[in-house]
Amino acid sequence: MEQRTALDKQGYIQRNLLDKKDFSLKGFFLQWEWMLVIILIAVMMINASLSPYFLNYASLRDGTMIFMDKAYIVFPMAMIMILRDIDISVGSTVALSSVVMATMYNSLGVPMELAVVICLAVGALCGFINGLLIVKFKELSAVIVTLGTMILYRGIAYVILEDQASGNFPEWFGFFGWGYVFGIPFILILFIIMAILFGFLLHKTTFGREVFAMGKNPTASRFSGVKVDKIKIIVFTLAGLMAGLTALFLASRMGSTRPNVATMYELDVIAMAALGGVSTAGGKGRIIGTVIAVFIIGYLQYGLGLINIPAQTLLIIVGILLILAVAVPKIKLPAFVKRK
Amino acid sequence: MPENVIQNSAQLQSPVKKTSKLANIYKFRELGLLAFIVILSLAVQLRNPSFLSGENINDMITNTAILSILALGMMLVLVTRGIDLSIGSTIAFSGMIAAQAVSANQNLNPFVVILMGIVIGMACGAVNGILIAKVGLLPIIATLAMMNIYRGVTFKISGGEWISSYQMPESFVSIATGKTFGLNNLIVIAIVIYLLFYYLINHTRTGRQIYAVGSNPDSAKVSGIKEGRILLLVYTIMGGFAGLSGVLWVSKFASAQGDTASGYELTVIAACILGGVSIAGGSGKISGIILGSVLLGILNNALPLLNVSPFWQTGIQGLIILVAVIINTLVKRGVDRNNLMRRKI
Amino acid sequence: MSEYVLELRGITKKFPGVKALDNVHFKLKAGEIHALMGENGAGKSTFIKVITGVHAPNEGEMFLYGEKVQFANPKDAQNKGIAAIYQHVTNYPDLSVTENIFMGHEKVHKTTKRLRWKEMHAEAKAILQDLGSSIDPKTEMGSLSVAQQQIVEIAKAISTKAKIIIMDEPTAALTARESEELYKITERLRDQGASIIFISHRFEDMYRLASQVTVFRDSRYIGSWGVNEITNDQLIVAMVGREITQVYPHKKNKAGEKLLEVKNLGKMGYYADISFTLNKGEILGLTGLVGAGRTEVCQSLFGITTYDNGEVYLKGQKIRVRNPKEAMNLGIGYLPEDRQLQGLVLDWGIGRNITLPALKDLSSKGWLNEKKEASLAKKLAEKVNVKANSIFDLVSSLSGGNQQKVAVAKLLTADLEIIILDEPTKGVDVGAKSAIYEIINNLAAQGYGIIMISSEMPEILGMSDRIVVMREGRITKVIDKKEATQEVILEAAMSEIKEQVV
């Protein structure tokens, strides 16, 4: 070290740049995720004190099954927000893909296995259209494009099913929403698998690195050879695909579907991502944070439901949570809440 | 090489003649919209003669009145590069409180009710404005959250109950059905607002500053314009219009519910986009807003007359928004391309 | 009353981590055009912002007509008769010319506060006509050319009744003829009694207009001279701090076989009939005024934008590049002009920035190998000699020169044959400049073909083997190093009026 500073004074010296980071215990505990863990514990404790039924395995398990469906969309939504965009059409995408699936099965006699695949395909297609429009018409923002498709997709669902419900799915289809594997809900297992997949995709692959680069500086990314259009389309398509998956779980859990399902899912999803530490200014966010945030918001809603707080109050609470989640980092607070 | 040079110099500058090509395009746009409205009306009339009957026209205009008032407010929001998704909830909120007030106190003066609605709406709008201008949230996030909160509060105060026409006094219902100077009150209110609004945005400093902030926020700062205050003002005006519309809405439909005007913000945004308001900020005209609102009003009215299933309406609206923004973009690209072509090299 | 209309003494302005101005002085006489010169990053723009009240200085005093003043905001300065025309045109493209002129000091009715449009339109028209321009004041600002917008900005300054007008590089984006118009207007303003501070890079601006010149370097005041008292060479020494000839390293490259051939390239509205060749191991200088289309041509070669017609051959093979990735795969790299916007991710570390273009080589089946990444980043950052402690240091914490080295290191990740450098030393201090020249020379010696875009005459002359000069979208001259002089290049870059006479 001393030698290096001495050489510095003489001018041109081949420097030795450090290429390893020291592990800092303080830095490790200064991460936003720890804050989230504390919030989650607080939520659990409050719920447990409000309702004696909350803290037992069956209750927690059922609660998870209820809020878990929309949680799948959080991962691609986090990516979209890292890209500095937003997608408010995901709720409509869920509705459209589930309606198409139900109609295929009930009215057109398509086998359910195929209808499930079609459901996912419709979701992916919706997302792909969003991505394509955003990339081809760069003058428009993602807000306006997905606002348009949000109405359009919901509208198509209404055209297909009008105000009917469509159900009568085969028995095995109920497994998505109600099935267990080794006593653990299937929906939770798949969620964890997805979290790991998306975690690797975002944090360990070139694709993820390029997503972060685009969020920080889209122009420089383009000049560095990142295929910005392609990445954007893929990310939006993933959001559609996950919305299709959500549609499966939702239709399975409810036993039927109708055009007005999943209304305002986008709000919950955006709130989960924002609370999970994904910055609306782009370029920042981690999957682990969004996973914890999913449980915070999910258990909060479930717990309040247990003590008979009406759904309308939950609307208010999610709204306030979303505002707090995006506003808190903007207000200067003591260092320990500062996000990494 | 030298001949190029000479050629260039000759072609070089004709800067003076470049004027107002853009302005022409906008005029062309509005004329196009007007022509489309006329053609559409005639086509609908051919299919269903009751379309252009006095009663139906009156119905259409009163429907459009509320929409266009809201679209004016939304235009200002869009001009400053923002968006407000919470207005449907604000309408429901102020409408519900107004309905509760008149059902509890049947002698309440209609003007007091209207004033109350406006104040409630302005308060809601001011909250949005503070979150956006002072806390620095993205408009879409802030208003999305507030949309839920206002809606939730509306459900809470209503306790899930409807307030219907028999609970409302005659004086309240006549806000929307009565006439002044032989014109429906809604139309009179809309015209008054138009005039005030026109004065605000074209003849006052504040009005022009709103456009300046949208056109170039950075230079607005250098010119000493207080961006935060402008944004706060814009969202408050939007809220005030939504509050007023809430009272008018409840009076017109003689019912107040928790889900009144749910999703109406999208119709309003569609009217603005059809009217040529740029989402990138800085531009938007009242004449465009009127045309956009009228077109949507006609469509909403004509579809049932043409026996189009009501379930198609949402989809058609979504399609209209998308097609309108895409056409706007393509027109703008065409203008830019023309400008380039005129740049002789 | 003092002899000076404006005097600044001992102004210091600090930003977090930087001293943007360090004890600078400035004296402006009534009715003079005073040139303020200095390289990029010398502190000129910050200085202007101090005068116009955008920034408050940390230390120092300002005197206006002998009276001490302090400005809290731009409005204060405007009220005292100071107006600035900024480098980047700062206007409202969606609003009318009249509004742009009167923004901030609109004419309103005394009691009703109603805007008096008629009066404003009339006055705007009068001012513009007085400036010899027939722009319709009701036109939308965004539909005017840059030169016309510049005139509107001047009209704005006049409309505020400004007695002191500051012009920050107003000629940077103008053609020669447009510049001449601007000179005339500026002189007219002076004759009408305004005092003008004229900031420019271009010596010709200074010689044409100014009577006094003040030079800043590295945020410091260097000196002030009458234009007749100082020679060109002395002025350069004052600006760059040493003899210009010392800066360029000894060249050791040799041109080899033909690498790239561009034939009749054209893009509507930007450039036309562009033909040139580039050889192995050669540094091809590409110069001309800002806005001559140099950057656009190179960005088309790199796949950022497309071209409408013409052909590009790489080693005899016809190529058509559709995006930067393809260009890089073909061996073409581009160092963008705007480091902060186009070149780097500022709040990322050095390492991540360097490896961004090469992620594919550092991964297998999409999985990133972070060890490999770190070692490559370390190797390249050391190769270009970035001054930092670790590859995790944020790029935003580096100086301009070191940022540029990181940007150059990014190019070295790919297997390139052609490197396009767009203003590689813009905003870089003198010491780092020669380091960058050294790197460029080494690259050429290793056989890379290099296209260097630059507006700085000495740099073009000192570095290039051949020089291509562009003007208004066309190549006006290709000059060999031996025949190249400042005069020849300048003539090709801006001599349209002379050519017409011939």
A81 touches chain B (CB under 8 A): no
The beta-carbon neighbor of C375 closest among A14, A19, A21 is A19
Query: What confidence tens digit (pLDDT) does each residue in C328-358 have?
Result: 999 999 999 888 888 899 889 899 999 998 8
Residue-level pLDDT at A98: 95
Look at A139 and B329 and tell me if their CB atoms are within 8 Å. Answer: yes
Chain B residues within an 8 Å CB radius of A145: 322, 325
Closest by CA to B270, choosing from A144, A102, C250, A314, is A144
> Is B170 within the bounds of a domain?
yes
* Furthest C-alpha separation in chain B: 89
Q: Please check whether residue C277 is in contact with residue C262, taking contact to mean a CB–CB distance below 8 angstroms.
A: yes
Confidence label for A313 from pLDDT (cuts 50, 70 and 90): confident
SS3 B229: helix
> Is B117 within the bounds of a domain?
yes
Measure A284 CA to nearest chain C CA, in Å.
Answer: 11
C16 or C416: whose pLDDT is higher?
Answer: C416
Which one of C300, C321, C335, C345 would you mutate to disrupt binding with A, by most A Cβ within 10 Å of its Cβ?
C345
Which one of C45, C73, C80, C94 would you mutate to disrupt binding with B, by most B Cβ within 10 Å of its Cβ?
C94
Residue-level pLDDT at C2: 64
User: pLDDT over 70 for what percent of chain C?
Assistant: 91
Chain A residues within an 8 Å CB radius of C435: 12
Tell me the CATH number of domain A35-328, given options 1.10.1060, 3.40.50, 2.40.50, 1.10.3470.
Answer: 1.10.3470
Residue-level pLDDT at B26: 58
**φ, ψ at A336 (rounded to 5°):** -70, -15
Residues 6+ apart with CB under 8 A from C464: C283, C284, C285, C452, C481, C484
Query: What confidence tens digit (pLDDT) does each residue in B30-72 have?
Result: 787 888 888 888 888 888 888 888 888 888 888 899 999 999 9
| CA triple A316-A320-A323, angle to 5 deg | 145
Look at C359 and A210 and tell me if their CB atoms are within 8 Å. Answer: yes
B22 or B54: whose pLDDT is higher?
Answer: B54
SS3 C18: strand
Q: What is the mean pLDDT of residues C263-285?
A: 89
- The size of the A-B interface in CB pairs under 8 A is 138
The strand order across the sheet containing C59-64 reads C67-69, C59-64, C4-15, C18-29, C220-226, C212-217, C33-37, C195-199, C164-168, C82-85
Residue-level pLDDT at C41: 65
A260 touches chain B (CB under 8 A): no
Say yes or no to pLDDT of C16 above 80.
Answer: no
The beta-carbon neighbor of B152 closest among A88, A140, A315 is A315
Residue-level pLDDT at A3: 39
Out of A303-317, B242-256, C108-122, C338-352, least confident range: A303-317
Measured distance CA(B48)–CA(B62) in Å, rounded: 20
Q: Which of A35-39, A92-96, C72-76 has maximum average pLDDT? A: A92-96
Residue-level pLDDT at C347: 86
List of chains touching C (3+ CB pairs within 8 A): A, B
User: 3-state SS of C52-98?
Assistant: CCCCCCCEEEEEECCEEECCCCHHHHHHCCEEEECCCCCCCCCCEHH
Say yes or no to pLDDT of A17 above 80.
Answer: no
Query: What confidence tens digit (pLDDT) does each residue in B283-321 have?
Result: 888 998 999 999 888 888 888 888 888 888 888 888 888
- The residue assigned the tokens 């935060």 is B228
Other C-beta atoms within 10 Å of C105: how many? 16
Q: Which residue of B has its CA nearest to A81?
A: B141
Measure A130 CA to nearest chain C CA, in Å.
Answer: 22
Look at C99 and B208 and tell me if their CB atoms are within 8 Å. Answer: yes
Say yes or no to pLDDT of A120 above 70.
Answer: yes
Identity (one letter) of the amino acid at C71? Answer: F
**Beta-strand relationship, C466-471 and C283-288:** parallel
- In DSSP notation, B46-82 reads HH-TTTTSHHHHHHHHHHHHHHHHHHHHHHHHHHTT-
Per the DSSP assignment, residues forming a β-bridge with C166 are C84, C197
Instruction: Determine whether C374 is exposed, middle or buried from the number of CB atoms within 10 Å of its CB (0-12, 13-18, 19+).
Output: buried
CATH number, domain containing residue B150 = 1.10.3470
User: pLDDT over 90 for what percent of chain B?
Assistant: 33
Residue-level pLDDT at C65: 87
Chain B residues within an 8 Å CB radius of C93: 215-216, 282
Residue-level pLDDT at C44: 82
Touching B: A residues 186-245, CB under 8 Å? none
Say yes or no to pLDDT of C501 above 60.
Answer: no
Residues 6+ apart with CB under 8 A from B128: B84, B86, B139, B142, B143, B146, B235, B238, B239
> Is B324 within the bounds of a domain?
yes
> Is B136 within the bounds of a domain?
yes
Q: Domain limits at B235?
A: 53-332
Look at C93 and B205 and tell me if their CB atoms are within 8 Å. Answer: no
Measured distance CA(B122)–CA(B244) in Å, rounded: 9
Residue-level pLDDT at C173: 65
Measured distance CA(C350)–CA(C394) in Å, rounded: 6
Lookup: tokens for C450? 């290099």
**Overall number of domains in chain B:** 1
> Is B11 within the bounds of a domain?
no
Between the two ends of chain A, the Cα-to-Cα distance in Å is 28
Measured distance CA(C257)–CA(A42) in Å, rounded: 72
Which one of C96, C134, C143, C146 would you mutate to disrupt binding with B, by most B Cβ within 10 Å of its Cβ?
C143
Say yes or no to pLDDT of A13 above 60.
Answer: no
Domains of chain C, each with CATH number or no CATH:
4-243 (3.40.50.300), 246-340+416-501 (3.40.50.300)
ipTM of predicted assembly, 2 dp: 0.80
Q: What is the mean pLDDT of residues B7-26?
A: 41
Residue-level pLDDT at A340: 36
Q: How many CA atoms lie within 13 A of C312 on its CB side?
A: 22
Say yes or no to pLDDT of C244 above 80.
Answer: no
Say yes or no to pLDDT of A121 above 90.
Answer: yes
Per-residue b or e along B136-151, where b marks 16 or more CB atoms closer than 10 Å to that residue's CB:
ebbbbbbbbbbbbbbb
> Is B112 within the bounds of a domain?
yes
Q: How many CA atoms lie within 13 A of A313 on its CB side?
A: 11
Tell me chain B's radius of gyration from C-alpha atoms. Answer: 23
Interface of B with C (CB under 8 A): 1-2, 4-6, 8-9, 12-13, 15-16, 18-23, 199, 202-205, 208, 211-212, 214-216, 218-220, 222-225, 278, 281-283, 337, 339-341, 343, 345
Measure C416 CA to nearest chain A CA, in Å.
Answer: 13
C250 or C500: whose pLDDT is higher?
Answer: C250
Confidence label for A4 from pLDDT (cuts 50, 70 and 90): very low
Residue A22 is classified by DSSP as P
Helix axes A90-107, A265-275, angle to 10 degrees: 130
Residue-level pLDDT at B84: 94
> Is B22 within the bounds of a domain?
no
Out of A3-12, A75-84, A112-121, B186-195, least confident range: A3-12
Look at C345 and A21 and tell me if their CB atoms are within 8 Å. Answer: no
- In DSSP notation, B72-109 reads HHHHHHHHTT-----HHHHHHHHHHHHHHHHHH-TT--
Identity (one letter) of the amino acid at C407? Answer: A
Measured distance CA(B101)–CA(B85) in Å, rounded: 26
User: For residue B205, what are the CA distances in angstroms to B109, B232, C92?
Assistant: 35, 16, 15
Query: What confidence tens digit (pLDDT) does each residue in A248-298 have?
Result: 999 999 888 999 888 888 888 998 998 888 888 888 899 999 999 999 988
Say yes or no to pLDDT of A338 above 60.
Answer: no
> Is B4 within the bounds of a domain?
no
Measured distance CA(A79)–CA(A201) in Å, rounded: 10
Out of A27-31, A121-125, A143-147, C386-390, least confident range: A27-31
Q: What is the mean pLDDT of residues A69-97?
A: 93
Confidence label for B4 from pLDDT (cuts 50, 70 and 90): very low
**φ, ψ at A230 (rounded to 5°):** -60, -45
